[in-house]
Amino acid sequence: MNKKLIFAAALLAASISTEAFAFPDRPIQVIVPYSAGGGTDLSLRLLAESFERNFDGSTMVVRNQPGGGGSIGTSGALLARPDGYTLGAGAQGPLALLPHLGGTPYNIDDVEFIGLFGRNLQVMVACKDAPFSNFDEFLEYSKTKAPQIGNSGAGGANHISAEAFGKAANIKIESVPFGGSSEARTACVGGHIDAMVASPAEALGQVEAGNVSMLFVMEPERIDLFPDTPTAVEKGIDFTWSSWKGIIGPKDIPEEDLKFLRSAIKTAVEDEEFRKKMEEMGEFVIYEDAEQYESRARSDSKTAEAVIRDLGMYGMNN
Tens-level pLDDT at each residue, the chain (318 residues): 455 544 444 444 444 444 445 899 999 999 999 999 988 999 999 999 999 999 999 999 999 999 998 999 999 999 999 999 999 999 999 999 999 999 999 999 999 999 999 998 999 999 999 999 999 999 999 999 999 999 888 888 899 999 999 999 999 999 999 988 889 999 999 999 999 999 888 899 899 999 999 999 999 999 999 999 999 999 999 999 999 999 999 999 999 999 999 999 999 999 999 999 998 887 889 999 999 999 999 999 999 999 999 999 999 999
Domain boundaries, the chain: 3-119+242-310, 123-235
Q: Partners of 198 in the beta sheet?
A: 123
Note the pTM of the prediction, 2 decimals.
Answer: 0.86
Q: Collapse the DSSP code of 36 into the 3-class scheme (helix H, G, I; strand E, B; otherwise coil) and give the result.
A: coil
pLDDT of residue 2: 54
pLDDT of residue 153: 85
Class of domain 123-235: alpha beta
Detail the DSSP E strand segments found in 140-282: 148-151, 174-177, 195-198, 213-217, 242-250
Q: How many CA atoms lie within 13 A of 66 on its CB side?
A: 7
pLDDT of residue 39: 86
**The domains spanning 3-119+242-310 and 123-235 adopt the same CATH topology:** yes
**CA–CA–CA angle 250, 251, 256 (5° rounding):** 100
d(CA 173, CA 239): 16
CATH fold of 3-119+242-310, please?
A: D-Maltodextrin-Binding Protein; domain 2 (3.40.190)
pLDDT of residue 15: 44
pLDDT of residue 16: 42
Q: Partners of 63 in the beta sheet?
A: 31
